[in-house]
């Protein structure tokens, strides 16, 4: 579904929200509920959904059970299975948006080009692809996994066949009878590979690092279950709560002593033993680092697909791409018709950061360049008054639902609106000290986690090896810490006249 570009931009709004995925949509609904109705959501795409609108690659589905991967305030009675496929999640978000009554304040096809804090007037000056406006507050809900990262491989631009990133899958692409190569073996690739194997003539899967893969405990709900979830009062909530605590029980495997991850690693090894007969393939797919260091993947059909006659797992490094083939370090040249690039997203250098300029005209990218990507409570940044993040630095998860984290940050942001309105404060920013203390604590906690000590490189870490993406504690700790806006950590944002925000 594509929504009309609709209506001009107003000259000014109180709150300007970037992005209409789970974050932007949920925030719009909760701001509206709180009586903060003067907001606008700018979305560069043509519909709500964010990552679930963009990632239409074959096999795309959620790795977190649907009962938990949905808004707590908008339960879906219609999930067809325990782990939802992408089209079902996208339909869910469209339905929530349509029933919310807030879509009149969404502007689709509107890309944010630049946002500058005007210290004199205490407003954000915003330039979009459809015109300019000002706002008192900006909330970036632009997503952490939204801008594709393309590999820097010699000659890749010279490839003459069809080529696309996993997150930009062309609706009209037909792989039937073609020789296809997939670069990368992350969460996207391992869903794509089994989904396209039946229709292609030949499939080469290029692996740089083997992922740990565990069984996918996915199944369709029976008619009885669906009826019960729909009609038995409290059942769906109890189910969701059960899944939530089951997921939280996994946290020690990531942040605790090594022994806590043994059961998961044993399960993953057993999965390989059961699904891969060929000793050579077994060796290739067995990782040499601790489970959890990279995102743990779940699939029942990835390994069996790699074992098929017309599918090859290539582990020799790629040295170059020619107009018709991929060449590996051993000198082998493999001809391909279609090149699928499943190499992930920009994660440690938020692309929106280039477009945001705070006090003194400093861009967020420059600021992050100096101190690393960091924020206070993953939500606000010193030097950038009245800028809030939904899914900001160090709010990602390796074990549970991002929607839970998103709802925590929404509550924090809505409460900040309430406090500012009640106290008459025009602008807030966290103190440098509060931000430093928050990040020192985070990085101290990171040291013993599997992400830092597990022996792998991953998209969780920046170029200095700092984990700037994940939350290293339970999600209920984050919920508690963001339950209320905390004025003591903030000052009114006058550069030369810093004032305490009244509590």
Binding site for ligand NAP (CB under 6 A): 61-63, 145, 151, 153, 166, 183-189, 191, 206, 208-209, 295, 318, 342-345, 459
Nearest residue to ligand NAP, scored by beta-carbon proximity = 186
Give the residue with the Cβ less far from ligand NAP, 239 or 345.
345
Give the residue with the Cβ less far from ligand NAP, 185 or 275.
185
Query: Least Å distance between CB 126 and ligand NAP?
Result: 29
Give the residue with the Cβ less far from ligand NAP, 12 or 334.
334
What the block records as the tokens of 33 is: 């509920």
What the block records as the tokens of 189 is: 């690739």
Across 195-259, the runs of DSSP E, i.e. the strands, are: 202-206, 213-214
Residue found by looking up tokens 């990133």 in the block = 165
Give the residue with the Cβ less far from ligand NAP, 344 or 430.
344
361 CB burial (10 A radius; 0-12, 13-18, 19+):
exposed
Query: Least Å distance between CB 49 and ligand NAP?
Result: 14
Query: Least Å distance between CB 389 and ligand NAP?
Result: 18
440 CB burial (10 A radius; 0-12, 13-18, 19+):
exposed
Give the residue with the Cβ less far from ligand NAP, 60 or 126.
60
348 near 459, Cβ under 8 Å? yes
Query: Least Å distance between CB 252 and ligand NAP?
Result: 20
Query: Least Å distance between CB 34 and ligand NAP?
Result: 30
Query: Least Å distance between CB 7 and ligand NAP?
Result: 33
Query: Least Å distance between CB 191 and ligand NAP?
Result: 6
Residue 376, H or E segment: none
Q: Dihedral of CA 137/142/143/148: which sign?
A: negative
Give the residue with the Cβ less far from ligand NAP, 251 or 427.
251
What is the C-alpha to C-alpha distance for residues 339 and 205, in angstroms, rounded to an integer? 10
State phi, psi for 115 to the nearest 5 degrees. Answer: -135, 125
Give the residue with the Cβ less far from ligand NAP, 65 or 385.
65
What is the C-alpha to C-alpha distance for residues 467 and 397, in angstroms, rounded to an integer? 12
Beta carbons within 8 Å of 72's beta carbon, 6+ residues apart: 240, 403, 404, 407
């Amino acid at each position: 579904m594509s929504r009309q570009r609709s209506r001009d931009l107003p000259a000014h709004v109180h709150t300007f929200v970037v992005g209409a995925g789970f974050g932007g949509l949920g925030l719009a609904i909760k701001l509206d509920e709180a009586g903060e109705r003067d907001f606008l959501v700018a979305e560069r795409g043509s519909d709500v959904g964010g990552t679930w609108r963009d990632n239409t690659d074959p096999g795309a589905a959620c790795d977190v059970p649907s009962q938990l991967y949905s808004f707590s305030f908008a339960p879906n009675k219609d999930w067809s299975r325990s782990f939802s496929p992408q089209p079902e999640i996208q339909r869910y978000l469209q339905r929530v948006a349509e029933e919310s009554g807030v879509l009149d304040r969404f502007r689709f096809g509107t890309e944010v080009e630049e946002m500058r804090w005007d210290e004199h007037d205490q407003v954000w000056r915003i330039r979009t692809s459809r015109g300019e406006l000002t706002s008192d507050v900006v909330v970036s809900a632009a997503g952490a996994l939204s801008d594709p990262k393309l590999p820097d491989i010699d000659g890749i631009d010279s490839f003459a066949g069809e080529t696309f990133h996993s997150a930009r899958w062309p609706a009209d692409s037909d792989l039937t009878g073609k020789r296809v190569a997939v670069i990368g073996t992350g969460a996207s690739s391992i869903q794509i590979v089994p989904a396209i194997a039946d229709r292609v003539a030949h499939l080469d899967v290029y692996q740089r690092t083997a992922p740990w893969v565990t069984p996918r405990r996915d199944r369709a709900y029976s008619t009885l279950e669906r009826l019960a979830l729909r009609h038995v009062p409290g059942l769906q909530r109890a189910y969701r709560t059960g899944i939530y605590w089951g997921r939280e029980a996994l946290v020690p495997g990531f942040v605790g002593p090594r022994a806590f991850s043994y059961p998961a690693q044993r399960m993953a090894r057993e999965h390989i033993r059961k699904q891969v007969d060929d000793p050579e393939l077994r060796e290739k797919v067995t990782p040499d680092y601790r489970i959890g260091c990279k995102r743990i993947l779940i699939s029942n059909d990835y390994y069996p697909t790699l074992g098929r006659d017309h599918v090859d797992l290539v582990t020799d490094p790629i040295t170059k791409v020619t107009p018709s083939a991929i060449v590996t370090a051993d000198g082998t040249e493999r001809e391909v018709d279609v090149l699928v690039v499943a190499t992930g997203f920009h994660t440690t250098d938020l692309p929106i950061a280039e477009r945001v300029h705070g006090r003194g005209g400093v861009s967020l990218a420059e600021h992050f360049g100096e101190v690393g990507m960091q924020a206070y409570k993953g939500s606000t940044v010193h030097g950038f008054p009245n800028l809030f993040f939904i899914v900001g630095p160090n709010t990602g998860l390796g074990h549970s639902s991002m929607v839970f984290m998103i709802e925590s940050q929404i509550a924090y942001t809505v409460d900040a609106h309430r406090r500012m309105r009640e106290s008459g404060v025009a602008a807030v920013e966290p103190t440098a000290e509060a931000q430093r203390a928050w990040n020192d604590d985070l990085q101290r906690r990171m040291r013993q986690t599997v992400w830092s000590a597990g022996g792998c490189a991953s998209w969780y870490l920046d170029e200095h090896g700092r984990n700037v993406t994940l939350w290293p504690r339970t999600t209920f700790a984050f919920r508690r810490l963001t339950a209320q806006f905390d004025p003591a950590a903030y000052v009114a944002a006058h550069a030369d006249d810093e004032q305490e925000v009244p509590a």
